[in-house]
Structure 1
Amino acid sequence: MMDLILGFIIAGLLMAVEYLLCTKLKNPLWGGIIPVLLLAGSIFVFASGKVPFERNYLFPFVVVNTLFWGDWATGRDQYKKLKKAEMDRMKAKDM
């Protein structure tokens, strides 16, 4: 039970860090570091045979990767919206 709680805490921290990287930094690659590492880790775990390549084991990896890639896309959209709003404020101030 403690392992599950610790896993959720680590996942939450990683998602928070990824969201901050996606929304605050100009280069989109910074926010993509964590999802790429998770994808590479998932591929390694299955390719090395540490976890059998079965539906019961595959599903959690698919969910985690989908969540992190979706979070990255959402963060980039938020970054674009913030920049557009900032540019609109600057244009309104210039007039």
Structure 2
Amino acid sequence: MIDGTVLELLACFAIALVLMVAEYLLCTKMKNPLWGGIVPGLILAGSVWIFASGAVPLELRYTFPFVILNTVFFGDWGTGRDKYQKMQQKEIEYMRAKDL
């Protein structure tokens, strides 16, 4: 039988995976870069709210996972925007090559 902690951990990983896929799609498919910032912004706001409400004590051992989480999602946002710009550049080069 699976322990409740394991189920919680699997649920957290599933939620994180869904959020990362959503962020990837928003970063790489939308023209406006702010669309890709929705998920990291919500995660940052949620992190601030969790600590401000006192639900989690503001100690290093509790804040470290939140710092890692926010760093990963904001880093993915930047990476996704770079990929979007590269895809746009390739499309422009393809169109120029076709015009010649």
TM-score, normalising length from structure 1? 0.98
User: Shift in Å at residue 62 of structure 1?
Assistant: 0.4
Unmatched runs of 5 consecutive residues or more in structure 2: 1-5
Q: 1:5 matched to which residue of 2?
A: 10
Q: What secondary structure sits across from 1:63 in the alignment?
A: helix
1:90 corresponds to: 95
Which of 40, 43, 50 is the equivalent residue of 1:45?
A: 50
Runs of 4+ with deviation above 4 angstroms? none
TM-score by length of 2: 0.94
- Count of matched residue pairs: 95
- After TM superposition, give the deviation of residue 52 of structure 1 in Å: 0.1
- The share of aligned pairs that are identical, in percent, is 59
Q: Aligned to 1:51, what secondary structure does the other structure show?
A: coil
**Does residue 1:32 correspond to 2:42, yes or no?**
no
1:72 aligns with 2:77: yes
Structure 1 gap segments, 5+ residues each: none
